[in-house]
Structure 1
């Protein structure tokens, strides 16, 4: 009887660990709102969005957290950064039973992939706001929110699959 109870607890541990890690990540994320660190991250995100826009020929300038042209401007807030999706991804990676090297490569993969996707999101929102402003709310709040959530889950599943192969080898 004792071994059955222990096996049940042991099988529940990963679920508890993932849930706890996600809870801690969300708590940390919401605590960062309005902090000096988040202000720097939003400013950096605005600069990071402006650079590819300028490379694509858009005449944009950055004023703190505002990316602006003559036709359209948007303000980068905490929710526009990669911090939220990245925290959730990192919490899931760290909670997964894999080796430290695999977790480190998973975190690096997430930083690059989620960061890159977020820049693509911000650039596309600029162009939607410039050329099809009537669709901006739907693209911003429905399409891109869904894409970001699905991308984080798919990236984590990809990493889990690769991590499992590394363990099996």
Structure 2
């Protein structure tokens, strides 16, 4: 089954400001990933083509990286995820910039159940939190998307009953 999942947000900021956030991804000073609320994104080396890592049970390799503009990751795990995901920055003019997260994959085997039942709601909440984190880092009013009851339950199950409440502003 083919899956395409897109999240995007327009910011009152120049592309270079969002590009600076993208450049910190998975670093000690990460200003884009919603650290504290989700498993940390980490790689075996700085953000560059060939770096491998991921977050939580999701593993991937950096396939393409244009500093300040885009990054694309190819899935390594879990089983049944074939494809990738990435972030791209698009200048819209007049001090407005689009930040888009795109996931494209084919799912097979157990992923035909795990993606819609667990991974997708968690993925959607995490990406929305990252888009909100960008607003916070750019000193813009944050657009907080509350976690659904399903996401709250899934996080509680995965954490063994110790999931913290939503950690972003709002």
The two structures have a TM-score, normalised by structure 1, of 0.30
- Structure showing the higher strand proportion among its residues: 2
Instruction: From the CA coordinates, give the structure whose radius of gyration is larger.
Output: 1
- Structure showing the higher helix proportion among its residues: 1
The two structures have a TM-score, normalised by structure 2, of 0.30
